Chains A and B, each alone.
Chain A
C-alpha cells in the first residue's frame, strides 16, 4: 500500500467510518449514522434496501438501526479490493452487487409466492419462519443463490454491524483490546 492509499485507509479505519455521499461530497460516518441521516443509497434501490433491512433485523436484532443496508450499499459501491464484506471470504464473485441483487430477488420472489407480499411486508413471525426455512433450503420454488448461502452472507453482514464493531463489543461488555484501534466504533 503506498503512502497516499495508506493515509486515506488509516484515516477511515482510525475514525471507524466509511465514505458516504452527501450532497455530492464524500462524508465519513458510520453506517448507523448514515441511516439516521437518511443518506441516499448509491446502488441499492429503495425496495432492495428495505428487504435488506428487514432481513438483517430478523437475523440479528439491531441490524436495521446499525445501518446494515447502508453498510452493504457502501461496500458494493467500492472496488472489490476495497470492500470489507464477508462475501469476500466466502468466494462470492465480484462485483458483489450482483450477488446481493440476486439474493434480494430470490427472497422477495419466494415471499410473494408464499404470502403474496414482499419479505419486508411480512409479519415478524412470518419473517422468522421464512428465514428458518430459507437457511435450511426448504423453500419450494426458490430461484437464486442457495437459501442457506443467502442466510450465511446476510447473517454475517448483520453480525458485523451489530456485534463486530467496538460499539458492539462494548454493548456486550467484552474488552475490545485493539493493537491499532478503530477508535470510533469500528
Chain B
C-alpha cells in the first residue's frame, strides 16, 4: 500500500456535484484530486447510438436491489468521469418554495433547513455559468421572480406541439421547458442541432454535461482527475473527529491512501452512504457520520406516468431533444390531486429513438413478432408522448445498508431496499388519469399507457440535510454534522424529492456548498 502526497481536498466522484466542488476549490487555489472508479470519458467517446451509449452506464454496479419497487440502478447511474450527468436529459426545472417546507405546511415528511430564497441565487448563477435555455418570466407563473435565462427557449417540434390542445382543454398551462442546453452558441460551445441523442451523451458540447462545464473549469484550474480509482473507505484520525483522507484501489488494483485536509463524497446517493457505512472505526462503530443511524435512510425516487399517443400526421419524433420542449408546474401543489399527496411536474415533447429502454419499441412492451414490426412502422412517424413525474414521500424504511457479499475490492455490496406506499401509487395513478384526459383532448385517436409498475427514476436521499444531528446527516452545505471536514454532495443530501428533475438543484446546492467551504476553508480544514 502506497501513500500519496497530501492534497487539500479529495473529491470522490467526478460527476455533476463533484465537478462543481472541484472547480470552486481549485479556483480558490486548493490542491484538488478527484477520484472516479470508471474511465476518463471524453466528448469524443459519446457515440450516437443507443447500443454504444450503454458504455457510460454502470455494469454490475455493486448493489443488491430489493423491495417492492427496486431502484433502477443500471439505467439511472453513471460510470466514469462525468457520472450520470454524462447521459442525463438536461431538463432543468427547479424545486419550488413549497418543496422546502412540507412539514410546516402539511405536517408530513421534512422541512429543508433552507428556503427556496436561499437556493434561488444559485439557480441563477448556475444558469449563467453553464447555460440554460428557457423562459424564466413564463415560469414565474408558479415561482418567485428571478434572473432571465441566458438563452431563449429551444425549438419546438410537432411531437411536442400536438399536445398543447390537450393541455389547454384541461386547464394546464405549458411554458417552454428550461433545459441545460444551448439554443444558441454559448461561451464557445455549439448550439444544439436537435438530433435527439441527448441520452447517450452530447459530444458537441451543446448539452451542459460536466466535461464541458465545471469539470473543464476544474482541470483548467489545476484539479487532477484520477480515473479508474475506486475509493473504499474514508479515513479518520485516532480521535475520530477529523477525516484524514481516503483509501482507494488504483487501476492495477493496488491499494493506495490519498491523504487530504477535506474529503467530499460526491459519488451519488447510493455510493455515498455505502462509503460512510464502510468507514466504521472504533470511534464510529456504525459508520462515519452515522451516530444517529440515519446514513442510508430516506432514499427517494420519482415515478413517471407516461402517456403515448399515435397521431395521423408525421410528428418527426426522431428530432428534437430527449428531455422536454414544454413543461408545467400546474399540478405542483402538494395537494393538487385529491386523495394523493405530493407534487407533479409535467412535460411534453421529446425525440424518441427506436431502441433502448425508453425507445419507441418499448412503448408497447407487450408486442412482439409481426405485431411489433407493424407497430414500429407506424410509430416511427406518428408516435408522441407526454410525462408526469410524481414526488415520492420520504420513508425511513427505504434505505441502503451493507450486505454480507463483497465486491472485487473486498468492500461489502450495498443493499438498497425501496418500495412505494399507497400514497405514492395513488399519485402515480392520478397522473395517469389526467394524462388520459389530456391525450383524449388532442387530435389523437389512439392513446395508451404502461401501468405495469411504477418506475424508479432518479435517486435522492440517503444522506439527507437537516437542522442538526437529531434529524439528518448533513447541513444545508453538505457538511456532515459529525465530522466537520467531511462533506456529502449530490442528490443524496436532498431532504425531500420534489417532482423536478434533480440535476439543476444538484448543481445549485453544490455551488452553494462549495463556495461556503472555500470561504470557510481554514475553520473547516483546520
Q: Using a CB–CB distance below 8 Å, which chain A residues touch chain B? A: 1-2, 5-6, 9-10, 13, 58-61, 80-86, 88-94, 128, 131-132, 135, 151-152, 155-156, 159-160, 163-165, 168-169, 172-182, 186
> A residues within 8 A CB of B48?
176-182
29 contacts between A and B (CB under 8 A): A1-B42, A9-B45, A58-B369, A59-B368, A59-B369, A80-B60, A84-B54, A85-B54, A86-B54, A88-B58, A88-B60, A89-B75, A91-B74, A94-B60, A155-B368, A156-B355, A156-B357, A159-B354, A159-B361, A164-B49, A164-B355, A178-B49, A178-B195, A179-B195, A179-B203, A180-B46, A180-B203, A182-B49, A186-B51
- Besides the known contacts A13-B52, A155-B368, A178-B49, 13 further A-B residue pairs in the complex with CB atoms under 8 A apart: A1-B40, A1-B80, A2-B39, A2-B40, A9-B45, A13-B47, A81-B39, A90-B357, A156-B362, A159-B359, A160-B50, A169-B354, A178-B195
Contact at A86–B357, with CB atoms within 8 Å?
A: yes
Chain B residues near A89 (CB-CB < 8 A): 54, 57, 74-75, 357
Cβ of A175 and Cβ of B203 under 8 Å apart? no
Given A1-B42, A86-B54: A128 in contact with B369 (beta carbons within 8 A):
yes
Bound CA–CA A59/B355 (angstroms):
14
Cβ distance A63 to chain B, nearest Cβ, rounded Å: 10
In the complex, the answer to whether B52 meets A163 with C-beta atoms within 8 Å is no
* B204 to A, closest residue via Cβ: A179
Interface size, chain B (Cβ < 8 Å): 56
A-B contact number at CB 8 A: 153
Please tell me if the beta carbons of B39 and A91 are within 8 angstroms of each other in the complex: no
Across the interface, A83 reaches (CB within 8 A) one of B59, B72, B227, namely B59
Chain A CB within 10 Å, residue with most, of B51, B227, B365, B377: B51
> Known contacts A61-B370, A180-B44; is A164 also within 8 Å of B50 by CB?
yes
B49 x A131 contact (CB < 8 A): no
Q: Which residues on B sit within 8 Å (CB–CB) of A132?
A: 368
Measured CB to CB, the closest approach of chain B to A42, in angstroms, equals 18
Set of chain B residues within 8 Å of A58, measured between Cβ atoms: 368-369
In the complex, which residues of chain A have a beta carbon less than 8 angstroms from the beta carbon of B203?
179-180
A residues in contact with B41, CB < 8 Å: 1
Q: Which of chain A's residues have a CB closer than 8 A to the CB of B362?
A: 156, 159
Instruction: Give Cα distance in the complex from A85 to B55, angstroms.
Output: 9
Neighbouring B residues of A93 by C-beta, 8 Å = 60
B355 touches A163 (CB 8 A): yes
Say yes or no: A164 contacts B354, CB within 8 Å: yes
Chain A residues near B354 (CB-CB < 8 A):
159, 163-164, 168-169, 172, 174
B197 touches A177 (CB 8 A): yes
CB < 8 Å neighbour of B368 from A60, A86, A180: A60
